[in-house]
Amino acid sequence: MNKQFLLLYFTTLIMSHGIDGKVRLFTYAYNRPDFIEIQDKLFKKFVLDDYEFIVFDDAPNQQMSQQIASTCAKLGIECVRFDQALHARPYLPRIPGDHAPTPSVRHAEIAQYSLDTYGIGHNDIVAIIDADMFLVKPFSFREYVKECPLAGYIKGDRIKFLWLGLIVMDMPHLPDPQDLSVNLGTIDGEWVDSGGHLHYYMRNHPEIKVKHIDAINLNAVSQDLPAQFLLMGPYHTMEERFNSMMLKSLGLDEEQINFVRAGPINIQFFANAHFLHYMTASNWDHKNDMWHARKTMLFDQYINTIIAAS
């Protein structure tokens, strides 16, 4: 094997995944530092790739920021503080009357910051993962985007874009990654939420195969359901949670079925039930402490069960 061939081989390897290529998993902590430790345990148990977990701290005050930083330090996780002054500048362009920092604006800005600083130019897979999104089954990010370099829940009808809660990107195989924008605003007269400006990227690169991440929506209680989540497909109500045949047909395993039956309000599973979305953990919809205490109790019981399983 000649030197010229070896040079070409290693150059190709570096360009595609790097000599020490690792999947990068990004999450964004506004509150709930307890969720960081749970995500970390689940990634260690279920991620099938070499990976690094990076937490971007978007806490609104110094006390919460210190809790997030302490949790990350204890676990040996890299923690990147997002300067809160960037929200006021703002970090991303705003339309007139769209005042930062609303929850959607905060989400878009810190996610964009993570891409700008740690994502674009990375030599492997990059995944954007909500702070209350949890991997609950063995999963390979590389395998998931092996044939499609971009994956996410595709929202919208006329204006299609990717929901920002779970996006997987094969950075070395995405053209013009510097053009990736997860901003929100109005496109052709239609409002799009955080992640909406990915519409421009997909429109400008029709050659890219985008993989749709499927969603299962369970235990819906209409008065507690955020309006925009109604756009993410049909919801199965609390009354349906005892329908074993339906739950099995959705691809849920026994532990997931038991969790759903216990009655946590408004939950989602994504990617063939490999990810569980707790939903609205930052409490931007202003639920009371008792509401979250019960949901967290049921959630913790399920998570502890699957972590303890061999």
**Pairing verdict, β 235-237 and 215-220:** parallel
Give the pLDDT confidence of 50-80 residue by residue, as tens digits. 999 999 999 999 999 999 999 999 999 999 9
The pLDDT of residue 95 is above 80: no
Taken in order of first residue, the domains within the chain and their CATH numbers are 13-212 (3.90.550), 215-308 (no CATH)
Residue 269: in which H helix or E strand, if any? strand 267-270
DSSP per residue over 176-244, as a string?
SGGG-----EEETTEEE-TTTTHHHHHHH-TTS-EEEPPEEEEEE-GGGS-GGGGGSS-EEEGGGGG-H
Laid out side by side, the sheet with 235-237 consists of 133-135, 275-277, 267-270, 215-220, 235-237
pLDDT band at 195 (very low <50, low <70, confident <90, very high): very high
Contact 241, 219 (CB under 8 A): yes
Helix axes 33-46, 289-308, angle to 10 degrees: 20
pLDDT band at 102 (very low <50, low <70, confident <90, very high): confident
Give the pLDDT confidence of 119-165 residue by residue, as tens digits. 999 999 999 999 999 999 999 999 999 999 999 999 988 999 999 99
Average of per-residue pLDDT values in the chain: 89
**What's the first-to-final CA gap in the chain, in angstroms?**
45
pTM of the model: 0.89
3-state secondary structure 120-134: CCCCCEEEEECCCEE
3-state secondary structure 97-161: CCCCCCHHHHHHHHHHHHHHHHHCCCCCEEEEECCCEEECCCECHHHHCCCCCEEEEEECCCCCE
Q: Which amino acid is at 243?
A: N
Give the pLDDT confidence of 249-299 residue by residue, as tens digits. 999 999 999 999 999 888 999 999 999 999 876 666 667 778 788 899 999
Residue 4's pLDDT is what? 45
Question: For residues 70 and 59, what is the distance between their CA atoms, to the nearest angstrom?
Answer: 13
